[in-house]
Homo-oligomer: A and B are copies of this chain.
Amino acid sequence: MVTINQDLYSRGGIKVAQPKKSRTNVDIYGKSYTIIGEESTSHIRHVTNLVDEKMREIHDVNQSLDTTKLAVLTAVNTMNDYIKLKEEIEVLQSLLEEKED
């Protein structure tokens, strides 16, 4: 999980062995974020650039939306794409299983 400004692993004062994490400063739709994650800095920049692009795309067709609604709608669209891919994966997996029989 990509997180921000806080280390999920050190919650509640419990210290556990943790994978090495990167801290990446990015700008998304004009605001600064520090993203902390196990992913590489270049991966995080790739992900956040896609979110920034998607927010701008949605803004272009919904110019009256405030930034919060724009961000929520970006999350909704991305979740929709995610679920579609999940369905696609299920189809591919059953095709593979058929081939293996």
Contact = CB atoms under 8 A, between A and B. Distances in A.
Main secondary structure, interface of A, reads helix
B69 A31 contact: yes
Given A61-B6, A92-B92, A68 B31 contact: yes
Contacts of A2: 73, 76-77, 80
Interface of A: 1-6, 8, 11, 28-29, 31, 33, 35, 37, 39, 43, 46-48, 50-51, 54-55, 58, 61-62, 64-65, 67-69, 71-83, 85-86, 88-89, 92-93, 95-96, 99-100
Task: Tell me the number of copies of this protein.
Answer: 2
A73 to B, nearest CB: 5
Contacts of A43: 83
